[in-house]
Structure 1
């Protein structure tokens, strides 16, 4: 049966640096025959495998892998007369030496799936201003404003249905949500108009919002809700990272998208909560 000697060059300086970390686990195992540390080759007589030390540089990882492979070769039980063919060696390497690695596809498009948890609530900023809807009789597009409401005007609060989502991709420490206006098909959406900076609009959902992924018509409806401190929440656009829902200090100003840092507030509380 034909067989071959297998030679692997090994750097002297790195080999001796690993001497204290790598050792044989059997008193009867073959040792490397290296009487002269300064010589350029060392013979390992185990199973006709020859290790050769050379002055060519190799990484420490390569050195350790070689020694581990040799140690494993010493314990093969099914070899006859200490010799084996190419196919047997290849089979051993595939089964014992080569490490299995899980390869994850790059640039995987996250898929957001709606859960059964939907929370009905109103939203106030940290200055106790409540989100209300703009006058439907005005000529400007529908939008939200932040207003300090008196006790007799609470009916103007916007009721939100905040639906939660889970994602197939690794998430930051935040919960993907959609903020819909209760009893309507309107949602808060972060989008770009004519290439401008992202803006906050009220948008009608296109079809089902049970599953959303990047590039879908409804991908602008998703926000990362993150709890800050003990009671505040921030809402960051999923489609435009770094852009947050914000309000101004003064009353009757529009609710808009802003980057951090900003003089506007991005901290909100959820009031009148009820699971639906």
Structure 2
């Protein structure tokens, strides 16, 4: 039988090992180094187990069928409890359990990993014409895959571009916040995309792939814009991939539609006209 007894006297503790058969003592259980788990105690009453300050905690286990690994685990636990000072001279099961929980069991800190943002296309599509604050209408450029903001006179309404705003939902977007959208030219595969060469700028990009789900880091993330509506006719479109960059127009007529930051001297508010909501 292996007996493990820890005794506390004044500010000293010691761990003693006794075997019923001394010939079975394993040298692995004791060490002559200064780091040994066994502590010296010069107090003779404590050495003779007659300490009347605190009663010791006795751990008794059968030699069989316990494995060497189990015995080592107990020694590790006792070493961690070596400097525990009991609050009272009496121990119950709950007190011992509290000591073990506080001093033997180590906490493992878990940190939440933020999931990749994902945007799923909804069944709602808004078709409309778009014009800026100065009533310039967005039309296709005849010389490049870009948009232009032009003041259309009477009889030129055929140049207006009809847009389809596909709305998306995402768990990462708070309710009543900006609405993620993709803007395309109706009845075509051309989408407004925010690309970045030396700085973000707006182009028309032909897309033939599936846009039902767009994740952060995907090639199609540059097609997403946060649409924020304020008042009756003020809409801003901020790039999801490049935060702080907005679709904008110049104050002058017949200039390219491009991206800008809020601090620039460009127009970033747009009105949606002739709106028609379509469900797929």
Q: 2-side partners of 1:90 and 1:144: how far apart?
A: 72
Verify: 1:112 aligned to 2:114, yes or no: no
Q: 2-side partners of 1:83 and 1:161: how far apart?
A: 73
Contact 1:4/1:86 (<8 A) preserved: no
Q: 1:132 maps to which residue?
A: 139
Contact 2:145/2:205 (<8 A) preserved: no
Q: Of residues 58, 83, 92 in structure 2, which corresponds to 1:83?
A: 92
Contact 1:223/1:238 (<8 A) preserved: yes
Q: 2:192 maps to which residue?
A: 188
Q: 2-side partners of 1:109 and 1:257: how far apart?
A: 25
Q: How far does residue 144 in structure 1 lie from its aligned partner after superposition?
A: 0.5
Q: 2:212 maps to which residue?
A: 210
TM-score, length of structure 2 as denominator length: 0.61
Q: 2-side partners of 1:182 and 1:213: how far apart?
A: 24
Q: Of residues 120, 125, 128 in structure 2, which corresponds to 1:121?
A: 128
Residues 203/85 of structure 1: CA separation in 2 closer, same or farther (3 Å cut):
same
Gaps of 5+ in 1: 6-80, 94-100
Contact 1:206/1:218 (<8 A) preserved: no
Secondary structure of residue in 2 paired with 1:152: coil
Contact 1:4/1:85 (<8 A) preserved: no
Structure 1 ranges of 4+ moved more than 6 A: 2-5, 90-93
Verify: 1:274 aligned to 2:276, yes or no: yes
Residues 149/88 of structure 1: CA separation in 2 closer, same or farther (3 Å cut):
same
Q: How far does residue 83 in structure 1 lie from its aligned partner after superposition?
A: 1.2
Contact 1:206/1:217 (<8 A) preserved: no
Q: Give the superposed CA RMSD.
A: 3.3
Contact 1:160/1:182 (<8 A) preserved: yes
Secondary structure of residue in 2 paired with 1:218: helix
Q: Of residues 209, 219, 222 in structure 1, which corresponds to 2:221?
A: 219
Question: How many matched pairs?
Answer: 196
Verify: 1:177 aligned to 2:188, yes or no: no
Q: How far does residue 232 in structure 1 lie from its aligned partner after superposition?
A: 0.2
Secondary structure of residue in 1 paired with 2:157: helix
Contact 2:225/2:240 (<8 A) preserved: yes
Contact 1:234/1:244 (<8 A) preserved: yes
Residues 170/91 of structure 1: CA separation in 2 closer, same or farther (3 Å cut):
farther
CA deviation digits over 1:89-119, x for unaligned, max 9?
Answer: 37988xxxxxxx995313x320010011100
TM-score, length of structure 1 as denominator length: 0.62
Contact 1:190/1:221 (<8 A) preserved: yes
Residues 82/104 of structure 1: CA separation in 2 closer, same or farther (3 Å cut):
same
5 Å-filtered alignment, 1:10-49, equals none
Gaps of 5+ in 2: 9-89, 103-108
Q: How far does residue 87 in structure 1 lie from its aligned partner after superposition?
A: 7.0
Q: 2-side partners of 1:201 and 1:4: how far apart?
A: 79
Q: How far does residue 169 in structure 1 lie from its aligned partner after superposition?
A: 1.5
